[in-house]
């Protein structure tokens, strides 16, 4: 009888210790969902990601944090990217993802990330001169060697835009928006961008097509003029900013920004000139992207010249601070 009582006490003690060991995990799952899972001796972080499969129907999938992060880095870079550029890009990606995650956690919302990424099979197709393992290892190394690092400005996450290449200079955020929220986003010379792939492009569209695509932001006109098709004399570039991107232009009775025109026509850049060619509008663009923040082409060229990722980030985001944003697992505990 005495031995039976001892066995019962040992069983109770064992059950108590198991509960005590699992309690933090249970609380975490209850508060945040199943973002943390056991994976051998390590805890794997799972996050919700908005995905658009081949069917085109948007859905939310669950995937490991590391896999998602590396997939974003792969989408934003190429297999030939320099290691220090990959590190700089990893810091920018982490800064944005951490900001989204922290804001949702603070508000008690479940995070569903929407940044586009490459799946493993997509990465295998994109690698060029390296085998897949070498390509993947380079991406993972960039993530690991910048672990937890993010950019802060005045005690909070910095706004860290980037683009494929500028027209030779990045743009001032204040000039583009009229706001001074991010004074570190200013004009930076990037002469190497002029040698970038697809830097100069020529687009030719009929005036009718341009008018149709710009219709959503054109000012209302009387019924008679509404049926009129624009001609070259109806288009005029009014002003450029200090980086030679179009600030304002006139389309008929409408004054719009260069960015509005770029987005409406899906142009690669708002650094452009226009002229009439055989009764159609020819648009010559320079650069790829909005021109704000880090030029990926110049960043990669800086890495080739021996610049570190810290120096690259300092050049494009001078005044921000490279800091420890915390381990991803801690954000779910």
Residues 264 and 300 in one domain: no
Residue in 63, 67, 70 with CA at minimum distance from that of residue 86:
70
Which of 19-28, 106-115, 297-306 is predicted least confidently? 19-28
DSSP string, 281-304: EEEEEESBS---SEEHHHHHHHHH
Task: Answer for the pair 70, 139: CB distance below 8 angstroms, yes or no.
Answer: yes
Confidence class of residue 2 from pLDDT cuts 50, 70 and 90? Answer: very low
Residues 82 and 156 in one domain: yes
Distance, in Å, from the CA atom of 11 to the CA atom of 19, rounded to the nearest integer, reads 12
Find the mean pLDDT for residues 325-329: 92
| pLDDT at residue 132 in the model | 78
Q: Which of 286, 307, 322 is the last residue of a domain?
A: 286
The dihedrals phi and psi of 129, each to the nearest 5 degrees, come to -90, -10
Report yes or no on 1 lying in a domain: no
245-259: string of b/e by CB count within 10 Å (b at 16+)?
Answer: bbbbbebbeeebbbb
Task: Answer for the pair 37, 28: CB distance below 8 angstroms, yes or no.
Answer: no
Task: Answer for the pair 185, 159: CB distance below 8 angstroms, yes or no.
Answer: yes
Q: Indicate the number of domains in the chain.
A: 2
Distance, in Å, from the CA atom of 256 to the CA atom of 261, rounded to the nearest integer, reads 7
Which of 39-53, 162-176, 190-204 is predicted least confidently? 39-53
Distance, in Å, from the CA atom of 299 to the CA atom of 89, rounded to the nearest integer, reads 9
Which of 211-220, 242-251, 305-314 is predicted least confidently? 211-220
Q: What percent of the chain has pLDDT over 90?
A: 71
**Which tens digits make up the pLDDT trace of 101-153?**
999 999 999 999 999 999 888 887 766 556 778 889 999 999 999 999 999 99
DSSP state of 330: G
First CA to last CA distance, the chain? 44
DSSP string, 103-149: HHHHHTPPPEE------HHHHHHH--SS-HHHHHHHHHHHHHTTTTE
The dihedrals phi and psi of 28, each to the nearest 5 degrees, come to -60, -45
Does the pLDDT value for residue 229 go beyond 90? Answer: no
Residues 307 and 276 in one domain: no
Distance, in Å, from the CA atom of 99 to the CA atom of 159, rounded to the nearest integer, reads 10
Distance, in Å, from the CA atom of 76 to the CA atom of 159, rounded to the nearest integer, reads 17
pTM of the full structure: 0.84
Answer left, alpha or beta for residue 262, where phi above 0 means left and psi between -120 and 50 means alpha. Answer: alpha
Distance, in Å, from the CA atom of 48 to the CA atom of 50, rounded to the nearest integer, reads 7
Residues 307 and 271 in one domain: no
Find the mean pLDDT for residues 241-257: 95
Q: Kindly state the tokens that stand for 314.
A: 């300092």
Task: Give the number of other Cβ atoms within 10 Å of residue 88's Cβ.
Answer: 31
| pLDDT at residue 311 in the model | 98
Residues 97 and 156 in one domain: yes
Residues 209 and 313 in one domain: no
Report yes or no on 327 lying in a domain: yes
Confidence class of residue 329 from pLDDT cuts 50, 70 and 90? Answer: confident
Average pLDDT, the chain: 87
Residues 70 and 137 in one domain: yes
Residues 199 and 268 in one domain: yes
- Give the residue numbers spanning the domain of 246: 195-286
Confidence class of residue 38 from pLDDT cuts 50, 70 and 90? Answer: very low
Does the pLDDT value for residue 21 go beyond 60? Answer: no
Report yes or no on 179 lying in a domain: no
Q: Kindly state the tokens that stand for 194.
A: 């002029």
């Amino acid at each position: 009888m005495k031995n039976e009582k001892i066995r019962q006490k040992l069983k109770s003690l064992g059950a108590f210790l198991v509960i005590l060991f699992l309690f933090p995990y249970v609380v975490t799952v209850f508060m945040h969902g199943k973002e943390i899972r056991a994976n051998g001796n390590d805890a794997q972080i799972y996050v919700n990601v908005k995905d658009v499969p081949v069917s085109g129907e948007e859905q939310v999938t669950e995937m490991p944090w590391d896999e998602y992060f590396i997939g974003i880095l792969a989408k934003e870079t190429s297999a030939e990217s320099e290691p220090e550029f990959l590190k700089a890009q990893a810091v920018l990606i982490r800064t944005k993802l951490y900001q989204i995650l922290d804001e949702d956690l603070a508000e008690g919302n479940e995070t569903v990330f929407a940044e586009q990424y490459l799946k493993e099979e997509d990465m295998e197709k994109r690698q060029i001169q390296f085998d897949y393992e070498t390509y993947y290892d380079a991406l993972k190394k960039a993530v690991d060697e910048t672990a937890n690092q993010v950019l802060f400005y005045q005690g909070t996450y910095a706004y860290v835009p980037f683009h494929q290449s500028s027209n030779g200079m990045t743009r001032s955020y204040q000039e583009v928006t009229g706001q001074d929220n991010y004074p570190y986003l200013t004009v930076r010379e990037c002469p190497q961008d002029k040698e970038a792939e697809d830097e100069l492009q020529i687009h030719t569209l009929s005036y009718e097509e341009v008018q149709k695509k710009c219709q959503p932001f054109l000012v209302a006109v009387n019924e008679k003029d509404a049926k009129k098709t624009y001609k070259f004399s109806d288009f005029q570039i009014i002003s450029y900013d200090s980086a030679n991107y179009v600030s304002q232009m006139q389309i008929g009775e409408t004054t719009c920004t260069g960015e509005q025109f770029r987005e409406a026509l899906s142009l690669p850049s708002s650094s452009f000139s226009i002229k009439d060619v055989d009764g159609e509008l020819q648009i010559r663009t320079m650069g790829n992207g909005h021109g704000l923040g880090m030029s990926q082409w110049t960043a990669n060229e800086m890495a080739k010249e021996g610049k570190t990722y810290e120096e690259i980030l300092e050049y494009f985001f001078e005044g921000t601070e490279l800091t420890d944003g915390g381990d991803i697992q801690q954000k779910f505990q």
